[in-house]
Amino acid sequence: MKPASHHTQNSYVGGHIERVEDYRFLRGEGQYLDDVSRPGQWQAAFLRSPVAHGRIVKIDASAALALPGVHAVVTANDIEGEIPTIPFRRPNPTIGPYAQPIIARDKVRYYGEPVAMVLADSAELAEDALGVIVLDIDTLPPVIAREAAMSDKVLLFDEVKTNVPTVFNADKGDAEAAFAAADYTIRDQFYTQRQTALPMETRGLLAEWDAKLGKLSVSGAAKLPFFNRKAMAKMMKLPEEAVDYIELDVGGGFGARGEFYPEDYLVAFGARKFGRPVKWIEDRREHLMAIGHSRECSSDVELAFSKDGVILGMRGSLYVNVGAYVRPNGMTPVRNAAQFMSGPYRVPAIHLDAYAFVSNKTPAGTYRGPGRYEGCFFIERLMDQAAAGLGIDRLEIRRRNLITHAEMPYPLATVLPSDGRAETQCDSGHHLEPFELVVKDSNWAEKAALQGKLIDGRYHGIAIGSFIEGGASGPQENVRMELHADGKVGLYAGSSAIGQGLETILSQIAADALELPMERIEVFHGSTTYLKEGWGSFGSRATVMGGSAVLDAAKKFLAAFKIHAAARLGVTIEEVTVSEGVARTADGRSVPLAEVVKDGINVDGSFKNQTPTYTYGTSFAHVAVDAGTGHVEVIDYVVADDVGRIINSMTLHGQVMGAAVQGFGSVFSEELVYSDEGQLMVGSLADYLVPLASDYPVVRCHSLESYPSPTNPLGAKGAGEGGIIPVGGVVANAVANALSSFGVKPNVLPLSPSRVWEMIEDARAKA
């Protein structure tokens, strides 16, 4: 099955086109928050809790206020009435009491929680002032580990009597009956470590208050400017139209950047209270302790099989450490881990309980492939173990269980309590197609001889695994299309640019739909000044939702052009045809688009959809392990996915390769380590090791468009997260395969050299 024909003169869609925004960046013309300053602005710095858990006794800022150039120290006492809490993006009736206050008043619950904000003439002066504030905290026992949290012996929130905000139940069929009928079962425990998304550029904000207009402007928006505007307006008790969020260039988002954080409110509060622009840029140490964390999840899960390797059922428990508070989307990884743990496999019976528990760590949220990365690691480890236990080839056990085209749409588990989408289903596809492509391209048949072999002092291993990626998060996206005075078409998008090439993708779609050169499309995005309402960029939605809204706007734009052209030509609308920016009649008369500039064309487009898309694929890894040092080298990595319809193969492959390398960092080196007292032990990029371009081989990507999504007119599916989802499971299985002679079980991430070495030594000791 191939995508339906979309005839245009241009055919930009589907091309291998360089990103139009890169010219700006390569010339040093990008505009980041730190590039923007205002006359008379003050700089903000935050005093953060030095302990994980305690009661605030006193904050004495007198010495700080005595310093020249220091203008104010804002604490909870300066905020009238009840301290605002950060609203949830997906409300859930049980999580309300766990919302994060924008500043600590009586109690601190994690190392790094804001307790005061200094406003000064410079960032250096503000930082100096932090050092002389006297902060007196009576410490309380920290709750760090799962066992301590779920025992409820020490409570983070006394009023709710439990450290477990909610439990998601994922169900499908009769799991107990499936296990009763099983010929073989495999059960094991797994753990994925705490990480963060670590965008290249740290967060920053610049807030300005116009007292005459009663208007607040916040620059530095990303990902969710419209949601954040709504949240800010409510918390500030302002009309929504009195708040603007301005999007600038950002160095990536990956799920964490652009959420509403305490600093968003406090910087804006300072600007409004004191009538001065207030700017804040965090340093990397502050960033590591304050931005949303993710991924910390342990599990005890079990699969049931028939004797011929067909999956009959899945059951078990997942435990997700969400940190000290439930942030706006903090439940998303918990729900996703449960709902999508079955991945691309046919699992007729499921019962999973996913527990979200709070602890005295930085609050958690989403990170690229939230919940799906963790779930894929769990099931892929079980699949390899089941193959060994049943004596079935690892390829064959997957072939027998991958979802086929004939089964589409394929329903996944139902999750309750629902925080927005209880039921969902894979929309289209044939999972064996990318699987077989990867088997062939990886030379599996030839490399199978390497499994467990010691070659030049290193043990070699290979593995394969499959995944699904959700995209097209609803409910809607909006755009506005306007004819500019220079004859170009301005496209104002509700989607945000977070490094994914939004300007290029939307230009391609608009240019084809309007039959104009891409150079005549100007894309403006993200800022709330452009549209009344938008939804932003998250959950691999910008292309599907934003691009489909562009098609709607283009249709209306061309209709408006025909109306103006018909009036100029003195004919009916039906007598006018439009192509390549020119309206024509049968007798040869014409009106180019530029001639109707004075008439004005300004149309709105939108696309509504509550049905997600599901990209799917398979990846392969070949590794070599040095048993003496525990070092693992990735020798080869192949990934293939079906994205429904390819808009731009260059940006698509960039997304997939970047996500895969980000996944290598997740597997091998990145970890946010805490002491038993709740101190974050990671303070810089010397401690938090991200992958370098030279660390890994060229990732080979194959992107297919065999099965377009039926849920949108583009037929596209999201593709920003799939590259990272399978990495943990596939690499861990390759390591296990390499070290099969030792019986090593790499069920805990990261697979750092020290951990791999310890696993080998433990296995030797047991032997």
pLDDT classification of 93: cutoffs 50, 70, 90:
confident
| Beta strand 582-584 pairing with 577-579 | antiparallel
pLDDT digits (tens, 9 = 90+) for 59-91: 999 999 999 999 999 999 999 999 999 999 887
Token digits of residue 692: 């370098």
pLDDT at 29 over 70: yes
Distance, CA of 579 to CA of 567 (rounded, Å):
18
Radius of gyration of the chain (CA): 27
Residues 604 and 617 in one domain: no
Specify if 543 maps to a domain. yes
% of residues, the chain, pLDDT over 70? 99
Specify if 512 maps to a domain. yes
Tell me how crowded residue 318 is: count the other CB atoms within 10 A of its CB: 27
The least confident of 3-7, 9-13, 363-367, 654-658 is 3-7
pLDDT classification of 767: cutoffs 50, 70, 90:
confident
Residues 286 and 310 in one domain: no
What average pLDDT does the segment 139-166 reach?
97
pLDDT of residue 475: 94
Residue 483 carries which DSSP code? Answer: E
pLDDT at 4 over 60: no
Residue 699 carries which DSSP code? Answer: P
Token digits of residue 720: 């920003």
pLDDT classification of 157: cutoffs 50, 70, 90:
very high
Residues 669 and 759 in one domain: yes
What average pLDDT does the segment 515-531 reach?
96
What average pLDDT does the segment 496-524 reach?
96
* Widest CA span in the chain: 92
What are 315-319's contacts with CB under 8 Å, separation 24+?
315/175, 315/176, 315/179, 315/350, 315/351, 315/352, 316/187, 316/352, 316/353, 317/352, 317/353, 317/354, 317/355, 318/352, 318/353, 318/354, 318/355, 318/374, 319/146, 319/150, 319/354, 319/355, 319/357
Distance, CA of 760 to CA of 767 (rounded, Å):
10
% of residues, the chain, pLDDT over 90? 95
Residues 583 and 725 in one domain: no
Residues 618 and 759 in one domain: yes
What does pTM read for this prediction?
A: 0.96
pLDDT at 8 over 60: no
Token digits of residue 459: 């043990």
pLDDT of residue 9: 64
Token digits of residue 434: 């990318």
Domain boundary among 556, 577, 608: 608
pLDDT of residue 334: 97
Specify if 177 maps to a domain. no
Residue type, 119: L
Domain boundary among 558, 593, 608: 608
What is the domain range of residue 280? 33-140+202-249+257-290
Distance, CA of 115 to CA of 618 (rounded, Å):
46
Token digits of residue 636: 């080869």
Q: Where are the beta strands (DSSP E) in 630-693?
A: 632-642
Specify if 532 maps to a domain. yes
pLDDT of residue 6: 38
Distance, CA of 103 to CA of 291 (rounded, Å):
15
Specify if 753 maps to a domain. yes
Residues 308 and 447 in one domain: yes
Token digits of residue 99: 């919302």
CATH number at residue 265: 3.90.1170.50
Residues 697 and 732 in one domain: yes
pLDDT digits (tens, 9 = 90+) for 715-743: 999 999 999 999 999 999 999 999 999 99
What are 692-700's contacts with CB under 8 Å, separation 24+?
693/661, 695/661, 695/664, 696/634, 696/637, 696/661, 696/664, 697/634, 697/635, 697/636, 697/637, 699/637, 699/638, 699/639, 699/656, 699/657, 699/660, 699/661, 699/723, 700/441, 700/636, 700/637, 700/638, 700/639
What average pLDDT does the segment 220-248 reach?
97
pLDDT classification of 695: cutoffs 50, 70, 90:
confident
3-state SS, residue 101: strand
Specify if 486 maps to a domain. yes
Specify if 631 maps to a domain. yes
pLDDT digits (tens, 9 = 90+) for 372-417: 999 999 999 999 999 999 999 999 999 999 999 999 999 999 999 9
pLDDT of residue 115: 98
Nearest in space to 598 (alpha carbons), one of 748, 459, 473, 484: 484
CB 488 within 8 A of CB 557: no
pLDDT digits (tens, 9 = 90+) for 97-130: 999 999 999 999 999 999 999 999 999 999 999 9
Residues 734 and 751 in one domain: yes
pLDDT of residue 485: 95
Residue 314 carries which DSSP code? Answer: E
3-state SS, residue 401: coil
Residues 631 and 569 in one domain: no
CATH number at residue 587: 3.30.365.10
pLDDT digits (tens, 9 = 90+) for 604-642: 999 999 999 999 999 999 999 999 999 999 999 999 999
pLDDT at 92 over 60: yes
pLDDT of residue 698: 81
**Backbone phi and psi for residue 137, each to the nearest 5 degrees, phi listed first:** -130, 130
Distance, CA of 8 to CA of 558 (rounded, Å):
14
The helix-helix angle for 372-390 and 332-339 (nearest 10°) equals 30
Q: What H or E segment, with its residue span, contains residue 744?
A: none
Residues 463 and 494 in one domain: no
Residues 215 and 92 in one domain: yes
Specify if 756 maps to a domain. yes
Distance, CA of 554 to CA of 546 (rounded, Å):
12
pLDDT of residue 2: 36
DSSP readout, 23-51?
A: HHHHTT---BGGG---TT-EEEEEEE-SS
Round the average pLDDT of the chain to a whole number and report it: 96
If one counts the domains in the chain, the total is 3
Domain boundary among 590, 608, 626: 608
Token digits of residue 569: 């030509």
Residues 343 and 458 in one domain: yes
